[in-house]
Structure 1
Amino acid sequence: MPRHHHKNSAGGGSQRQLRVGETVRHALAEILAHGNVHDPDLEGHIITVPEVKMSPDLKLATIYVMPLGGHDADVVIAALNRNKRFLRGEVAHRVNLKFAPEIRFRIDDRFDEAERIEKLLRTPAVQRDLAPDSDDE
């Protein structure tokens, strides 16, 4: 039976990569939400997991995280990396894959980019360009 690799138009990978990434994301979000990781640097932080990107062979999961409010991002990443082995094992128990993927953590900077765009849209020059022109009537 031939294998078909359908690429997502946004460049996010095959349907299988997207599906597995979403499954890993849910598993990790549940682990973090329930406080299963006992690390003093993670206590008191609510961590969102907006995206997980899987490599084509599904052996590497790049996990994008953001602590609520964006505070202590470097501390949170360091703590997650210290607990990487435990987290990989927990993900392996929850996600049915042939191999437990290696995991790496990255800060999700899409929030910062969105904020930067918002600020640009509020500048006087952009507001002037967006204002309806009364001369066109």
Structure 2
Amino acid sequence: MRKRSIKNTRVNTEVQHELSNIIRGGLKDPRVAPWTSVVAAEVAPDLKTCKAYISVLGDAYEQEQTIKGLQSAEGYIRRELARTLNLRNTPEIRFVLDQSIEYGVNMSKKIDEVTKDLKTEGVEEDAE
């Protein structure tokens, strides 16, 4: 199976969906933050490994604790994945912290601040 094949894309999507269901509904670890989402999942073509990109809404400490909690629950998550998905091999999961959503929110705030400053400057010039 090639890396960019339709089958690989379908497997990635299914693994991402099931991982998010398992994390949301099955984990009881208090270290895992309630606002944890699976942004993407990349399963290797041989179905042996998987990188799960995780986004956590919170500070750096909560993000670190969530990744530690997920790593300690990897056996449970993998077993649940094997139970719900019918794959030849159940991939070994590596959790990677994804900062893209947080980066996007920060950039959006900065853009809003700049446009707000531009609007207030425009209002002051019109008043004169």
TM-score by length of 2: 0.75
Mapped partners of 2:111, 2:28: distance in 1: 42
Do the aligned residues in 2 keep the contact of 1:17 with 1:58 (CA within 8 Å)?
no
Measure how far apart 1:29 and its partner are.
1.1
Residues 52 and 99 of structure 1: is their aligned pair in 2 closer, same or farther, counting only changes over 3 Å?
Answer: same
Q: Does 1:50 align with 2:39?
A: yes
Do the aligned residues in 2 keep the contact of 1:88 with 1:103 (CA within 8 Å)?
yes
Measure how far apart 1:39 and its partner are.
1.6
Mapped partners of 1:45, 1:120: distance in 2: 27
Mapped partners of 1:31, 1:45: distance in 2: 13
Measure how far apart 1:14 and its partner are.
2.3
Structure with larger RCO (C-alpha < 8 A, sep 6+): 2
Measure how far apart 1:98 and its partner are.
0.4
Q: 1:77 is paired with a residue of what secondary structure?
A: helix
Structure 2 partner of 1:110:
100
Measure how far apart 1:97 and its partner are.
0.5
Q: Does 1:76 align with 2:66?
A: yes
Residues 116 and 63 of structure 1: is their aligned pair in 2 closer, same or farther, counting only changes over 3 Å?
Answer: same
Q: 1:45 is paired with a residue of what secondary structure?
A: coil
Measure how far apart 1:28 and its partner are.
1.2
Residues 108 and 122 of structure 1: is their aligned pair in 2 closer, same or farther, counting only changes over 3 Å?
Answer: same
The share of aligned pairs that are identical, in percent, is 27
State the superposition RMSD in angstroms. Answer: 2.4
Unmatched tracts of structure 2, length 5 or more: 119-128
Q: What does 1:87-106 correspond to in 2, within 5 Å?
A: 87-106=77-96
Give aligned pairs, total: 115
Measure how far apart 1:23 and its partner are.
0.5
More helix by share: 2
Structure 1 runs of 4+ off > 2 angstroms?
A: 115-124
Choose the corresponding residue for 2:10, options 16, 19, 23: 19
Give, as a single letter, the amino acid of the residue that structure 1 aligns with 2:39: P
Mapped partners of 1:121, 1:39: distance in 2: 37
Unmatched tracts of structure 1, length 5 or more: 8-12, 129-137
Q: 2:102 is paired with a residue of what secondary structure?
A: helix
